[in-house]
Amino acid sequence: MNLLSNFNLNWSWPQVFALILLALVGAFLAERVVGNAPKYGILGSLVLGILGAWFFSNLPLEIQIEPRLEDMPVVRSVLGGLVLVAIFAYLRKQGAPR
């Protein structure tokens, strides 16, 4: 089984905007949970959130009753952005001088 066959790169503009919106929601929640922003502030959070949302939305895992926004899975996209931003923010928080 080829895992890369599930990744979709043919998106319309509404799907791109939906991905960015869901990534921002995940990044915002991650910053509130960890209490720290990753390096480069909101721009870094946005890039990490987009990467996490894109990766999690393309996982072969399927949630049966998941809402979709422009064919983007809402729960998995927000969770992906949240996880990736939280990991980098936590690592930055641990590396900060005390």
Summarised one tens digit per residue, pLDDT across range 10-64 is 778 888 898 889 888 888 888 888 777 777 778 888 888 899 988 888 888 777 8
Asked if 81 and 28 count as a contact pair (C-beta separation under 8 A), the reply is no
Summarised one tens digit per residue, pLDDT across range 66-83 is 898 888 888 988 998 889
The reply to whether 53 falls in a domain is yes
**Identity at 23, one-letter amino acid code:** A
The reply to whether 92 falls in a domain is yes
**pTM of model > 0.85:** no
Count of domains observed in the chain: 1
Biggest alpha carbon–alpha carbon distance for the chain: 47
The reply to whether 50 falls in a domain is yes
Rounded to 5 degrees, what are φ and ψ at 96?
Answer: -70, 140
Task: Provide the residue range defining the domain that includes 55.
Answer: 20-27+37-60+72-98
The reply to whether 76 falls in a domain is yes
- Residue 68's DSSP bridge partners are 73
The reply to whether 15 falls in a domain is no
The reply to whether 98 falls in a domain is yes
The reply to whether 13 falls in a domain is no
The reply to whether 5 falls in a domain is no
